[in-house]
Amino acid sequence: MPRTVLICDDALFMRTMVGDILREAGFEVVGEAATGVQAVERYGALRPDLVTMDIVMPDMGGIDAVREITRLDPGARVLMCSAMGQQALVIEAMAAGARDFVVKPFQPSRVLEAVERILA
Amino acid sequence: MTAPPAAPARGWGADDRGRWDALFAAEAREHAARAAGALLDVQRDVERGAAPARALDAAFRSVHTIKGLAAAMEHAGVAQLAHALEDALAALRDGASAGATPAWGSVPAATPALLLDAADALHDAVEAAIAGAPADGARSTEQLVARLQAAAGDVPRAPVATRETDPAGEPREVGALAGTVRVHVRLAATAALPAARAMIVLRRAGELGLVTRVTPPAPRWQEDGFDGAFAFDLPSTVERGSIERAVRLAGEVAEVTIAECAPPIPFSSGVAAVAEPLGDVRHGGGRPAGRSAPGVRLDAARLDALLDLVGELGVARTRLAAAAARTGDRALAAAVGDVGRVAAALQEEVIACRLVPLDELFARLPRIVREAARTSGREVALALDGGEVAIDRAIMDGLAEPIGHLLRNAVAHGVEPAERRAAAGKPPTGRVAVRAWRERDAVLLAVADDGGGVDREAVLRRAAERDGGGAGEGAAAAPLDDAGLLRLLSAPGLSTAPRVTAVSGRGVGLDAALAAVRRLGGTLALRTAPGLGTTFTLRLPLTLAVVRVLVVRDAGLTWAVPVAQLRETLDLAPAHLADAAAVGDPRAAAPAAGEAAHLVSRGAAVALRSLHAVAHASATPGGTTGTGAPGAGRPAASPAAASVGAPSPEGEALVVESEGVAVALRVDAVIGEREVVVKPLPPVRGALRIWSGGTILEDGGVAPILDVPSFLRLQSAR
């Protein structure tokens, strides 16, 4: 069975890019979310193997979403997608329960390495 | 440890690149417009003395998204500008969200204007990147970046944004526990965000045993001097191989060395030094309250396909209803009724998906006004209202050009120079407003100014000159109403004449604007009063995808005429004939000789034309095959039935009207009114386009939809 992933980013562009990278690596993108609220809802419904999470999103930010998701499922595996210069936010996200992070612009190899680390 | 799968070298394939370019263009444009809109809100809030936290947050998010997109697409100029703007916004926002009006009090008054300039520059940079142009004006970008950085530096940071509040950060010289090992880690030089990475290392290590004596302490990692080298202790009971595996699993680790520790000294928790400051790290980002979700974006082609299917569902429902009526089964008829209601609701939903708020268009207008005001030396304030009104994206995209024309004209030619305004007792700053509102299935957009109004005399004089005297005198004798004035203004020969521009101060590009509005299925109206100003009102359909039509039959073929342009239907009783002798038997009249016939409609004579004759004269698409959805390829009638001029005793006339011009169309029979999904028809070679598209009928045939404005222009051109 392919491993499943939920992609959370308010930019379609980023969702598409991350989705392509992961699909190429054999993942099944089971859902996408454009806001933190959607991310939490969909995590609860889909229980994917992996979540990719943008930090800055409308409605509920990525960090709060991580907090909610890990409250929902302490075993949740969340990969933060961050921009340069967001170190404090990334650390906050890690503290909230995210497992790892990648920095934009995404290099597919880095994304996949991070994913494998998380799922190892 | 699982080896990561070899990632394929991910070069940009030509196809890929095109796809990413398109995605970038769509999304970067949208966010540039959103950012501009939000920054206008910032300016407004500041002017009102309110803390613009929400607006700053919205702007920040859009700018942040643009930064990410630009970085991914390697548009360095865009990314750099977005980054500087983002920093400035973050600094301002942290000031604003601290609720400190004093913070705003100390913001230079020029800051909102600077932010708007930056939004303009960002918009330009995005457009340049989309156009594939190298980021030009790099120097002005640099200046702007420098000004933004200065502005960001000027803002007092709110205390909540500081991270230095944790006292646990001080290095505590504590010794190792009995039986510990010291783990030295060096992160790869290429590791991004080393502090965050180091934290993952600590967490991985912490899964093995208690982590102590972290140096440098975690709070120091975010300082500039941190080079990715750090150390910590673990109990020596933990197997060294698993320590190394765990540390490397954190990623980006260049080197791990594990050494025996020095003699034991009392314990202090290095873990606490990591965990405590984290709890205190705060950032205002990503937590705006009460924002509605932007939702999932759909490919427009998907929506079109969905709408097509909805249209076909409607067709199937009609057939089902006919079958139910034949069998007289009441339960079936009731079920068909339910299907119809659901289908109608579905269609409404799908259409709603195609609609976007005008905000996106409105966000571009302040910039147009500022530029026009600058070049024409006017002082102008712009008011926008109704940005929440939604319209089909295709229509909104087409509106930018005509609205831009009208707005520039309003500023440069509508609003008078300051001295003339003063002489007229008006405030020196001219007012220009763009308002939008919804009227049933139409969206109305008004572009208004409080200028001097259109100079009728000048327009008439110029029209008379152009027409060579005689016509001009006639026109001058009759009072010219606003509709007539608009016709004169938008006549190409007149509107482009520079003299009229100078004299009447109106009409530059008005013909182009009018043409653009017509292409969108809209109409343009003018109201002007001397000394009080001018208002152009655009009336636009909500969507181009669905239209209410009257389905008619003529000469064995089926046609659709949009109800929006239908003034009335008349039966061809003699009472309506303006000139019975000239008309004779309209059904027997030769198609090309339609000019002779007239009907009376609303007290005025209108020319009577035969629909099928008009159709044939302009190369009917009625026999088009192979368009649209499967099953749509059949012409609406057999060739025998389509023979021209088949007489019918049941003739009716449809009086169609657009922009004050009316023509009556004779048809054999009116079948009924429908709301139909418009399908594009293939281009008709060598013929004028009088069909806006086609629609599928209950029997699977295709009926062309008459484009009434095009048709009427063709008629009046003859």
CB distance B637 to B643 below 8 Å: no
Q: What pLDDT, in 10s, does the model give residues B316-373?
A: 888 888 888 888 888 888 888 888 888 888 887 888 887 888 988 898 888 888 888 8
The 8-class DSSP code of residue B3 comes to P
CB distance A75 to A81 below 8 Å: no
Q: Residue count of chain A, please give it.
A: 120
Helix axes B111-131, B138-154, angle to 10 degrees: 150
In order, the DSSP letters of B644-711 are TT---TT-EEEEEEETTEEEEEEESEEEEEEEEE-BPPPPPTTS---EEEEEE-TTS-EEEEE-HHHH
pLDDT the model gives residue B467: 65
Contact across the interface for B279 and A91, Cβ inside 8 Å: no
pLDDT the model gives residue A40: 94
C-beta neighbour count of B377 within 10 angstroms: 9
CA atoms of B278 and B163, how far apart (whole Å): 9
> For residues B658 and A82, which has the higher predicted lDDT (pLDDT)?
A82
Using pLDDT thresholds of 50, 70 and 90, give the confidence band for residue B288.
very low
CA atoms of B40 and B32, how far apart (whole Å): 12
**Percent over 70 (pLDDT), chain A:** 100
Per-residue pLDDT for B688 more than 60?
no
Q: Which tokens hold the place of A69?
A: 């998701």
CA atoms of B521 and A110, how far apart (whole Å): 50
Query: Which 3 state secondary structure label does DSSP give B640?
Result: coil
Q: Mean pLDDT in chain A?
A: 91
Residue of A nearest to B161 (CA): A88
CA atoms of B535 and B403, how far apart (whole Å): 12
Torsion of CA B31, B32, B36, B42, to 10 degrees: 50
- C-alpha distances (whole Å) from B508 to each of B256, B405, B505, B517 are 73, 8, 8, 15
Q: Dihedral sign, CA of B570, B574, B579, B585?
A: positive
The 8-class DSSP code of residue B565 comes to G
Out of B431-445, B623-637, B681-695, which region has the weakest mean confidence (pLDDT)? B623-637
Residue type, B333: A
State how far residue B205 is from chain A, nearest Cα, in angstroms: 13
pLDDT the model gives residue B61: 84
pLDDT the model gives residue A76: 93
**Cα radius of gyration (chain B):** 35
pLDDT the model gives residue B297: 59
Q: Which residues of B touch A87 (CB under 8 A)?
A: 193, 195-196, 222
Out of B420-424, B595-599, B637-641, B655-659, which region has the weakest mean confidence (pLDDT)? B637-641
Q: Which residues of A touch B67 (CB under 8 A)?
A: 83
| Beta carbon pairs, A and B, within 8 Å | 149
- C-alpha distances (whole Å) from B465 to each of B456, B470, B473, B694 are 14, 9, 10, 43
Q: At residue A98, what are phi and psi to the nearest 5 degrees?
A: -70, 150
Residue to mutate among B1, B86, B200, with most A CBs inside 10 A, is B200
End-to-end CA separation in angstroms for chain B: 81
- C-alpha distances (whole Å) from B191 to each of A84, A100, B195 are 11, 13, 10
State how far residue B287 is from chain A, nearest Cα, in angstroms: 5
Using pLDDT thresholds of 50, 70 and 90, give the confidence band for residue A47.
very high
Q: Which of B540, B522, B348, B544 is nearest to B436 (CA)?
A: B540
Contact across the interface for A104 and B83, Cβ inside 8 Å: no
Q: At residue B579, what are phi and psi to the nearest 5 degrees?
A: -145, 85
The 8-class DSSP code of residue B577 comes to B
Contact across the interface for B294 and A35, Cβ inside 8 Å: yes
Contact across the interface for A12 and B193, Cβ inside 8 Å: no
Q: Which residues of A touch B286 (CB under 8 A)?
A: 36, 55-58, 60-64
Q: Which tokens hold the place of B658?
A: 């657009």
Q: What pLDDT, in 10s, does the model give residues B73-125?
A: 778 788 888 888 888 887 777 665 444 443 444 455 667 778 888 888 888 88
For residue B574, is the peptide bond before it cis, meaning its omega torsion is within 30 degrees of 0? no
Using pLDDT thresholds of 50, 70 and 90, give the confidence band for residue B135.
low
Residue A53, C-beta contacts closer than 8 angstroms, at least 6 positions apart: A8, A9, A39, A62, A65, A66, A78, A79, A80, A81, A93, A98
CA atoms of B391 and B376, how far apart (whole Å): 32
**Cα radius of gyration (chain A):** 12
**pTM of the predicted model, to two decimals?**
0.45
Residue B340, C-beta contacts closer than 8 angstroms, at least 6 positions apart: B317, B321
Chain A residues 66-85 with a CB less than 8 Å from chain B: 82-85
In order, the DSSP letters of A61-83 are -HHHHHHHHHHH-TT--EEEEE-
- Our CA angle for B453, B457, B461, nearest 5°, is 135
What ipTM describes this predicted complex? 0.86
Residue to mutate among B34, B56, B190, B287, with most A CBs inside 10 A, is B287
CB distance B525 to B485 below 8 Å: no
Contact across the interface for A103 and B193, Cβ inside 8 Å: yes
Q: Which residues of A touch B282 (CB under 8 A)?
A: 92
CA atoms of B657 and B638, how far apart (whole Å): 31
Q: Which residues of A touch B34 (CB under 8 A)?
A: none
Dmax of chain B from CA atoms? 123
State how far residue B68 is from chain A, nearest Cα, in angstroms: 7
Chain A residues 22-41 with a CB less than 8 Å from chain B: 24-26, 32, 34-38
State how far residue A88 is from chain B, nearest Cα, in angstroms: 7
